[in-house]
Amino acid sequence: RAWRAAAPALATWATALGAAALGDGAVLTAPDFPAALLPAAGAALVFCLALTALDGGVRATADGLPLHTAWRGLLGRALAPHLVHGLAGLMMGVLWRGAHGPAAALLVLLPMYLSCWVFAQYHHERAAHQATIRALVQAVDIKDSYTRGHSERVGRASVLIARELGMAGDRLDVVRFAGILHDVGKLGVPTRVLRKDGPLTPEERRIIELHPEYGHEMIRGIGFLGEARDAVLHHHERVDGSGYPYGLRGEEIPECARVVAVADAFDAMTSTRSYSRARPVSTALAELERCAGSQFDPRMVAALVRALAHHGWQTAVTADEPGPQVPAPRAPGPLAARTEEPA
């Protein structure tokens, strides 16, 4: 609370200094249009720069992020709303001194009210999006209790990777949605196959391998997910072309899908389930590095290693009941190739 009160106060103080430097006292106390545009625009810019510096600084301190990462995208997101509101305030001042007098407040506040209403509608829509995603994830968790919590952790790991790659803003949201929803296609897989403790038959494995396509079909009509839909479809592709469902290789695989693939495999290896025991984080990272270039994009693996060096990782037990401890059979190829599916 002290920080949230101090940051705008410091930014406002810096803004006053900037406005005074750009315009004389007459302009500031008796604004005339267009003479007041320069100090007003300068004041809004200084306010945004101050807030960006303060917010980025506290993020870098609290989260251990490099300054350029903590500051990335903050100024761009702050400029538009503050310039608009600053212009509205300037309009009120100019109109108030003209023929309209106090009625100028109505001329300005009505558009401001409409702007706030649109902003509130945007947040309501965003909350509805989040509720839709939570409902889908809960449905998967209920159907496949052995991987409960896996989707949320994959979303978190995907965001860690994305931040290291320089993604920000809406792109981070898309990556998080992709990680959370990557297994939604399991809703189309028979429960007996998902919960089978022993090895899968070839037919059962083919059924499991359909879940990316099921997931893509389920969410392709949800417009706000954007490229997260491609990540759901392609998160089991491998950079050497041996993955599924389409055998894409290298850069053919969407970037978001390459991020989720690494996050998915990492959480699968570091989580204890009814059919496998968790591996230490260091062991899981070593396995990812071993498979980089064949199964995983080396850039994504390196980003995860850097992110965990800054933030660490808390492993989790995802099975609700103890169940028999059946060792996880190794499929042909890299050990990390088997992720969340019982094999």
**Whole-angstrom distance, CA of residue 125 vs CA of residue 210:** 31
Closest CA to 161 of 313, 312, 292, 300: 300
**Whole-angstrom distance, CA of residue 130 vs CA of residue 132:** 5
Q: Which two tokens stand for residue 52?
A: 């960006």
Residue with tokens 């309501």: 124
List 150, 163, 182, 186, catalytic entry: 186
Closest CA to 255 of 334, 171, 180: 171
143 catalytic residue (yes or no): no
Beta bridge partners of 141: none
**Whole-angstrom distance, CA of residue 287 vs CA of residue 303:** 15
| Contact status, residue 342 vs residue 194, Cβ threshold 8 Å | yes
Q: Which amino acids are annotated catalytic? A: 186
